[in-house]
Structure 1
């Protein structure tokens, strides 16, 4: 019984834990599929083992994300994290799991820069129920200089600080370029300027997750978000039949737009930001 760092030999058991709820676990599913649980190819994934059986996971990189964890596993992950030290910039996941982790970690890692404890986790598993914006399309690689400023603006507005770009300022830009290259960045571009955009940040088993939804502040209130999201859903469903996202409860315009498209809330997430 206890917590240990998982490796490639644990991949089958780890994916079985993820498969208990592939929709909610899409973010970690995507990362595990990419890394194969090799820490050299990504962040560590910790496993909670009970009576020789892998019962729960915790992705432990820039994002700390519990998967399938009950209270015993969560407290074990918190104790392990305290021994290892904080290297994440946020803790996120189902709200109750994040709450238990933070109860144990806050006396040592707090205070948080911000606690967002009510983030509806939304799903759509059919076509959008409104007409998509025909001008929303996949971004071309040559359009990176057009898309990148919009991504920085979205990140800064959403997270409250500029993206972590690294000493040479290339990490975040490389991530945006990768999303474009893999056909997972979408935008409506007018006169060389992004007026609406969104990306598919994670692709799991039959499920993907939209991130980075943004409308140019000068164009807000024009009704661009809902048709734009309908177009992104249509494009995303060419990859997977189920599309997810999560949003801050206080962002009522965004929630209303997603609901117009046909998204429904199935879970509540929470995020602790450092």
Structure 2
């Protein structure tokens, strides 16, 4: 009889960085956020755990970044409960679990067994694009629409869009909008991310930006058009132009969109994006 291969969770240190990276690269297509967090981790604050066998082969990862847990469980079906979870969750508050639906569900069940109850759960279509977007994705270019790079002088004009995006798409149920934090997020986007804005009638009416960069893929998000300008194809124009620029840089593109957001899903599909998996974000605090 073949002996069972014993697996256990281990904290991944600097010596295991190469193994961690190799494992994540195999699943980058489905976990751009986790890969980006790994590449930007701060060892004093963030944690990475491996599920390994006796020979050190990695079959699953769990990343802690900020107040979020990001599971990357690969093809592993039977995930043993990490022995450290109870003590860890007792010391460090967790705000969110984020990852593929199948992975997030495993972690959610483990957390429920430890007394954690999600306050809000959102399921998305994870979509991907790996070639130049279909030019038909933008439809007819709306008269008077100008697409350009944002500048810091656009901060005040962009704030209502970032605020609207966070309130409609980001904040979990019952959470209060924080204007100061929103401005800090917008400043970080303008400083560190690639972005494109849409202008019409002398005002900024739409925005799109990157929000994570992994090994070979970039994730886009923050797509928002002022309510009074929706239905004119602006989001499709922004997505097609922006995605085309990223593809020209040699990057694959990922995004996730709420399943109930039919107009957005249609716009992304017209641009050439395909749904590749179900994605989940669950909020706890």
The secondary structure found in structure 2 opposite 1:158 is helix
| Cα distance, 1:68 vs structure 2 | 3.2
- 1:71-110 correspondence runs (5 A): 71-73=77-79, 75-77=80-82, 79-85=83-89, 87-110=93-116
Is residue 48–residue 76 contact of structure 1 (8 Å, CA) maintained in 2? Answer: no
CA drift of 1:13 comes to 0.7
Partner of 1:223: 233
Question: Which of 49, 53, 60 does residue 50 from structure 1 map onto?
Answer: 53
Instruction: Find the partner of 1:21 among 4, 11, 27.
Output: 27
Residue 17 of structure 2: which of 11, 24, 30 is its match? 11
1:60 correspondence with 2:76: no
Match of 1:189 among 199, 211, 227: 199
What is the CA distance between 1:174 and its match in structure 2? 3.3
1:156 matched to 2:167: yes
Match of 1:130 in 2: 135
Deviation at 1:22, TM superposition (A): 1.7
Describe the superposition over 1:161-201 as per-residue Cα deviations: whole angstroms up to 9, x where unpaired: 35667xxx35x433322322235122113466431111101
Partner Cα distance (2:62, 2:178) in 1: 22
Give the equivalent residue in structure 2 for 1:142.
153
Cα distance in 2 between the residues matched to 1:199 and 1:55: 33
Structure 1 unmatched ranges of 5 or more: none
Q: Could you say what secondary structure the match of 1:127 adopts?
A: coil
Runs (5+) with no aligned partner, structure 2: 1-6
Moved more, 199-208 or 2-11: 2-11
What is the distance in 2 between the residues matched to 1:109 and 1:200?
35
**Partners of 1:188 and 1:206 in 2: how far apart?**
27
Q: Could you tell me how far apart the structure 2 residues matched to 1:150 and 1:47 are?
A: 39
- Residue by residue over 1:101-134, the C-alpha shift from the partner in whole angstroms, topping out at 9 and shown as x without a partner, is 11221244543222224x1110111111125567
Q: 1:113 to 1:239 in 2, by over 3 A?
A: farther
Pairwise CA distance, 1:140: 1.3
Tell me the distance in 1 between the aligned counterparts of 2:63 and 2:81.
14
8 Å CA contact 2:98–2:280 kept in 1: the answer is: yes
Number of aligned residue pairs: 264
CA distance in 2, matches of 1:59, 1:179: 23
How far has the Cα of 1:50 moved from its partner? 2.0
Q: Is the 8 A contact 2:31 2:100 kept in 1?
A: no
C-alpha separation between the residues in 1 aligned to 2:246 and 2:84?
A: 37
Is the 2:239–2:271 Cα contact (8 Å) retained in structure 1? yes
Which whole-Å CA distance do the structure 2 matches of 1:239 and 1:65 have between them? 27
| Structure with bigger gyration radius | 2
Q: Deviations over 1:192-230 (max 9, x none)?
A: 643111110111111100111111111112221111111
TM-score, scaled relative to structure 1: 0.86
Mapped partners of 1:189, 1:146: distance in 2: 10
